[in-house]
């Protein structure tokens, strides 16, 4: 057992999104977005239900 068996390296586990505080595009209120795609605070999401038509 003397071979280079170092093929067990992972580049990155999973895309870990940093929770940052961003201003909501709807009410402009600062909220903690779990990921970059989150640009509307949960409050507005619930209020408008994101146009669930
Ligand atoms: Zn909002």
Q: Which helix (H) or strand (E) holds 8?
A: none
Q: Taking the model in full, what pTM does it have?
A: 0.58
Per-residue pLDDT averaged across 5-17, rounded? 75
d(CA 35, CA 53): 25
Sequence ranges of the domains in the chain: 17-53
Query: What pLDDT score was predicted for residue 47?
Result: 85
42 CA from centroid of ligand 1 (Å): 7
pLDDT digits 0-9 by tens, 14-50: 778 889 999 999 999 999 999 889 999 999 999 876 5
Surrounding ion ligand 1 within 5 Å at CB are 24, 26-27, 41, 44
Helices and strands, counts by H and E, the chain: 1, 2
């Amino acid at each position: 057992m003397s071979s280079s068996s170092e093929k067990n390296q992972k580049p990155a586990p999973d895309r870990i999104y940093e929770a940052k505080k961003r201003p909501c595009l709807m009410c402009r209120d600062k909220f903690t977005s779990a990921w970059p795609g989150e640009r509307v605070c949960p409050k507005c999401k619930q209020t408008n239900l994101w146009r669930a038509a």
